[in-house]
Amino acid sequence: MAMAFPLFRRVALWLVPFLALAGTENALAESLAPDAPTHIHAALVPERAGQPGETITLALTMQPARDWHGYWSNPGDAGLAPTLDWTLPKGASAGAMQFPVPQTLLVAGLMNHVYAHDFAILIPFTLPRDAKPGAVLPIKAKAQWLACTSTICVPEDAVLTTTVNVGAATKPDARFADWRAALPAPLDQPAHFAATQTGYRLAIPFPAGTAITDPHVFLGTDGVIDYAAPQAFSRSGDTLIIELAKSKTPLGATPAALTGVLSLGHDAAGRDLGGISFGAQPGAVPAGGAPLAGTAKPAPFSWALLGLAILGAMAGGLVLNVMPCVFPILSLKALALARGNSHHAHLEALAYTAGVMIACLALGAVMLALRAAGGEVGWAFQLQDPGVVAVLFLLAMAITANFAGLYELPGLSMSGGAPGKGGLWGAFGTGLLAAFVATPCTGPFMAAAMGAALVLPTIAALAVFGALGFGLALPFLAIGFIPPLRRLLPRPGAWMVWFRHAMAVPMGLTVLALGWLAWRLGGTHYAAAAVALGAGVLVLLAFAGRGQHAGRAVGRWVVPGLIVLAVLAGAGAPRLASAERHDDASLIGARPFTEAALDAARAAHKPVFAYFTADWCLSCKVNEHVAIETQQTADAFRKAGVVVLVGDWTRRDPAITRFLTGAGAAGVPLYLWYPADGDAQKLPQVMTPSSLAALTTTGRRQP
C-alpha cells in the first residue's frame, strides 16, 4: 500500500521493540480479521441531495474494530492521518476534512492523538453549477489510513464510492447531527501565544464560570511542541492560560500562528464535554494565573526499557565483531597491541573506540535526520546506495592489499612501539571503517534495540547507537586496558606475518561479496565500473608499496589519485547503475512481498511465511541457506499450503521500509509467521534447519 510517513515521529508501531526486549516475542501483531479486509471499516456518506452550485456535507465514517484506533489530523508522536484522493464530476469540489475532537493515547512515553471509537470526518462538497436536476453524481475517493492497536499498526486503504442526487433538498441523514456535535466548536474570539525559552504560553478566551476538567490541547501545527510533555493550565479571569513544552526536535523557527483544538475533558458523569477549535496569533499572554488542579499530565519515561535497549545494542555490537569483514581488522590490531607497551595499548584502544562510536553515532544521526525529513530509510541504509557500496568495494580492496603485503597502512601496522600521531589516527580510522562495514545487519540482540531507537526521543536514540558502537569496540578496549588479556595473546614472532597474509583471505572474500553486491544492486555496467576503479586503486597502492619498501615517501600523486578514484566511485559509478532485478529461483516458491498479497493470503485463511532480506545482510543469507531455501522446508510448506512472501530490501524500497517500521524492525532480517487462523508471530533471527518445518505442524514458534 502506497503510504508516506512524512516525519520520523510517524513511526506507527512503538511498543513491539519494548515487548521484544522484555522477552514477549509473541506479541508482534494481531492478525487480520478473516472476514474483513481492514481493521477500520470506512464508508463515504452524503448528508442529503443538493442543488446545482450548492455546498452540502459528506462524511467519511470510520468504524474501528475492538481494540483498534485511528488518528486525528495531527497524529502526535506516532501514527498517520487519513487521506482522501478524490475523483469527482467536472465542476465539483471537495473542501478540507473536519475532524472531531480526538483522544489522547500515551504509550511508552509517546503521545498519540487518536479515536478509539466510531467517528466521522466531515467534508464540504460543492456540486457543479451546471449540474442538471435529477442527475446522479458519482463520487469516488481513494482513502488511506493507519489502523493500530497498542502493539501493531497496519496501513490500510479502500476505494470509497457514493452518489449525490441533484435536485431539491431531501431530508438530511439524522446521523449528521451527532457527527457535527462531535466537532470542536469554533472560538469566536482571538487567541494569542508567546514563545518562551522552554516552549509556548497560550491564552484562550474562556468564561471564568465555565467548568473544565481534564483539558488537553491538541496542536494542529506539527513539530512545534513536545506532545507527551505536561500541559499546565491556569485561569486569569476569562482567559485560560496553557503552558506547552517546546518540541525536542523542532522543525523550524517560531511559527507565525498556532491552530488546534482545546478538549474540555469530561463531566462528573463521564460525558464528553467536547472541545473548542482555535487559531492563535502572537500577542500578549497574561503572566501568572490560578492553576487548575490535576491538569498536569507528566509523561512517564521508562528508564528500564531504555536500559534494556542500550544493553541489547551493546550485545549486538559485540556480535558484530565476528563478521568476516571486521574480525581480520580486529585481530591484527589486537596482535599489534600485544607488541606495544601499556601506554601504547591504552591510547590505541581509546582511539579505536572513538572511531567506532563516532561512526555509529553519525550513522544513527543521519538515519534519524533523513527520517525526520520524510525519507523512508532504515538501519544499514548506506548499503542501499550504489555510491557507498562502490567506495566500500575500494576500501575492502585496499585493506586486502595491505594484509597481502602490497603496501603498509599505519593504522594496521604490526610494528608496535610508540603509536605517535600516525598510529593513533590509524587506530581511529580503523574504528571508523570497522563500524561502517560491520553494521549492515540487525543480528541477535540488536534488532529490538534498533527498532526502539526509531521511536525513542532523539537523545535516547543516540544513546542506543552509541551503545552499539561501544559494544563493537569493547573487545579491543578490553585488550587495551587489561594486561592479562594481552598476555593471553600469542607472543610476537615471524608467524604474525603469515597470519597477516592469511587474514587477506577473508578480506578478499569480502571484496568478492561486495563485487557481487555491486552487480545485484546496480547491474553489470555499474559492477564493471567498480572493478575498473578497484584495479586503479591496486595499481596506485602497488606504486606506493614499492616506494615504501625502497625507503621513499609515498609519491605526491598517489594520495590525490586515490581521492580521485574514491570520488569517481562515490559519485560517478552510481550513474551507471540500473534498476534491473536479479530474482533467484526459489525452492520454496517465494513470491515478492506486497501488503496486498499478504492481505489476500490472510483473507483466504492460508498460513503465510513472510521474510525480509537483503543481499548485503550476511545473517540473512546464512538463514536462507540453512533454514529457508531447503528441501525440508519446501516439503513442509508444500504439504501445509504455506504462502511464502519475500521482501527484498537490497535496494531502497519505501513500501518495505514502512512495513519494517510498522513491525518494530529497524532493518533486516525480519521473519514473520502467520498461522491460517491465529495471531502473527515474530520469529527469531537465528534459525535452525527445522525451525520453519516445525511451524507447519505446531503452528507455533519453536523455542
Indicate the range of 4-18, 484-498, 570-584 predicted with least confidence: 4-18
Residue 667's pLDDT band (cuts 50, 70, 90):
confident
For the ranges 219-233, 421-435, 634-648, the maximum mean pLDDT occurs at 634-648
Contact 178, 122 (CB under 8 A): no
By three-state DSSP, how is residue 608 classified?
strand
User: Tell me, what's the pLDDT at 612?
Assistant: 92
User: Tell me, what's the pLDDT at 29?
Assistant: 32
CA–CA separation, 30 vs 38, rounded Å? 12
Mean pLDDT, the chain, rounded, equals 80
Between 486 and 1, name the one with better pLDDT: 486
User: Tell me, what's the pLDDT at 538?
Assistant: 92
Q: Which residues of 283-317 are buried (b: 16+ CB within 10 A; e: fewer)?
A: eebeeebeebeebebebeeeeebbebbbbbbbbbb
Range list for CATH 2.60.40.1250 in the chain: 16-181
| Residues pairing with 262 in the sheet | 217, 276
Contact 329, 320 (CB under 8 A): no
Range list for CATH 3.40.30.10 in the chain: 591-698
Contact 105, 227 (CB under 8 A): no
pLDDT digit string, tens, across residues 352-369: 899 889 988 888 888 777
Q: What's the mean pLDDT in 495-508? A: 80
Q: Which residues of 179-189 are buried (b: 16+ CB within 10 A; e: fewer)?
A: beebbbeebee
pLDDT digit string, tens, across residues 305-344: 678 778 888 887 887 777 666 666 666 666 566 555 455 7
Q: What's the mean pLDDT in 10-21? A: 35
CA–CA separation, 642 vs 245, rounded Å? 50
pLDDT digit string, tens, across residues 104-120: 998 767 889 999 999 99
Contact 156, 70 (CB under 8 A): no
Contact 580, 386 (CB under 8 A): no
For the ranges 108-112, 203-207, 245-249, 593-597, the maximum mean pLDDT occurs at 203-207
CA–CA separation, 691 vs 617, rounded Å? 20
Secondary element (H or E) of residue 88: none
To 5 degrees, how large is the angle CA 289–CA 293–CA 294?
A: 135
In this model, does residue 293 exceed pLDDT 70? no
Contact 606, 643 (CB under 8 A): yes
Residue 698's pLDDT band (cuts 50, 70, 90):
low
Judged on CB neighbours under 10 Å (0-12, 13-18, 19+), 557 is: exposed
Torsion angle defined by CA atoms of residues 340, 341, 344 and 345, in that order, rounded to the nearest 10 degrees? 80
Residue 181's pLDDT band (cuts 50, 70, 90):
very high
CATH code of 186-291, in short, is 2.60.40
DSSP string, 387-430: HHHHHHHHHHHHHHHHHTTSS--GGG----S--HHHHHHHHHHH
Pairing label, strands 275-282, 258-263: antiparallel
Indicate the range of 39-48, 181-190, 377-386, 680-689 predicted with least confidence: 377-386
Query: How far does the chain reach from its first CA to its final CA, in angstroms?
Result: 33
In this model, does residue 36 exceed pLDDT 50? no
In this model, does residue 469 exceed pLDDT 50? yes
> Is the CATH code 3.40.30.10 the one for domain 591-698?
yes
In this model, does residue 192 exceed pLDDT 60? yes
CATH code of 16-181, in short, is 2.60.40.1250
CA–CA separation, 619 vs 624, rounded Å? 9
